[in-house]
């Protein structure tokens, strides 16, 4: 016979609320949506923010091509329809992570304004913070960390954002960063200030 030791446990009906999880984490759920050209600094800044926040005891998670395109969205290609569905699913997963209380960051080019608006509407006002990595294409192309611009210029990659596919810049992003003359650390400080200003994490006491 199994002994049931239910002491020290409080039983409740219904769901645990987002507010209860946020209290446990000492933070409020948020989705920081990085958008910008390939090479504009999105992922580097996101990971820099992640390290700084975890160091401060906050729970973060980054969604990017590595964990999304090879997982949830591995059955999607790069047609217009599939790109749209790609961003839709990322917005929906972001919403779940925000509801779970996490400071969530997404790092995708996400070139189309309408798709980003869908994500914003899904996640909801106040929880969606759009960060435009507005590093000029000349700078991105000079950096070209993955050699993608070179391939696109050579015609080996078709539909490459900024070359033969448009990038629709955000009109009113919550934050605009140009990484031309800013280090990832300097950019991260601005993102963290955005989170503090939005009341998502407590400001550091001096």
Active site residues: 110
Span of 15-23, 125-133, 154-162, 166-174 interacting with a second copy by CB under 8 A? 15-23
CB 18 within 8 A of CB 102: no
**Residue 71 CA neighbour count, 13 Å, CB half:** 10
Span of 11-19, 105-113, 127-135, 165-173 interacting with a second copy by CB under 8 A? 11-19
Provide the mask over 99-128, with x wherever binding to a second copy is found by CB under 8 A and - wherever it is not: xxxx-------------------x------
The answer to the question of residue 194 lying near a second copy (CB under 8 A) is no
The answer to the question of residue 29 lying near a second copy (CB under 8 A) is no
Beta carbons within 8 Å of 105's beta carbon, 6+ residues apart: 31, 32, 33, 34, 46, 49, 50, 60, 61, 62, 63
Q: Provide the residue count of the chain.
A: 206
The answer to the question of residue 60 lying near a second copy (CB under 8 A) is yes
* Tally of helices (H runs) and strands (E runs) in the chain: 8, 5
Q: Which tokens sit at 37? A: 């050209």
Query: To the nearest whole angstrom, how small is the minimum distance from the Cβ of residue 173 to a second copy?
Result: 16
Residues 81-100 that bind a second copy (CB under 8 A): 85, 89, 92-93, 95-97, 99-100
31, 32, 37, 62: which one binds a second copy (CB under 8 A): 62
Q: Which residues of 3-20 are buried (b: 16+ CB within 10 A; e: fewer)?
A: eeeeeeeeeeeeeeeeee
- The CA distances from residue 169 to 35, 80, 100, 200, 203, in Å, are 8, 18, 30, 25, 30
Residues 130-159 that bind a second copy (CB under 8 A): none
The answer to the question of residue 15 lying near a second copy (CB under 8 A) is yes
Residue 186 has a CB neighbour count (10 Å cut-off) of 13
Cα–Cα distance between 74 and 3 in angstroms, integer? 45
28, 36, 50, 120: which one binds a second copy (CB under 8 A): 50
Chain contacts with a second copy (rule: CB under 8 A): 2, 4-6, 8-16, 20-21, 24-25, 47-48, 50-52, 54-57, 59-63, 67, 71-72, 75, 85, 89, 92-93, 95-97, 99-102, 122, 184-186, 188-190, 204
């Amino acid at each position: 016979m199994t002994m049931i030791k239910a002491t020290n446990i409080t039983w409740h009906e219904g769901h645990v609320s987002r507010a209860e999880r946020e209290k446990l984490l000492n933070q409020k759920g948020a989705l920081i949506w990085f958008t910008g050209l390939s090479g504009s600094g999105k992922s580097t800044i996101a990971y820099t923010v992640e390290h700084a926040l975890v160091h401060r005891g906050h729970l973060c998670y980054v969604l990017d091509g590595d964990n999304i395109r090879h997982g949830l969205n591995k059955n999607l290609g790069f047609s217009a329809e599939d790109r749209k569905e790609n961003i839709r699913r990322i917005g929906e997963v972001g919403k779940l992570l925000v509801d779970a209380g996490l400071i969530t960051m997404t790092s995708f080019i996400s070139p189309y304004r309408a798709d980003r608006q869908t994500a914003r509407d899904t996640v909801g006002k106040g929880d969606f913070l759009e960060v435009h990595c507005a590093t000029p294409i000349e700078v991105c192309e000079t950096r070209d960390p993955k050699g993608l611009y070179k391939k696109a210029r050579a015609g080996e990659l078709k539909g490459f954002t900024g070359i033969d596919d448009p990038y629709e810049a955000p009109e009113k992003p919550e934050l605009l960063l140009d990484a031309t003359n800013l280090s990832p650390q300097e950019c991260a400080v601005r993102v963290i200030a955005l989170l503090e200003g939005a009341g998502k994490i407590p400001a550091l006491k001096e």
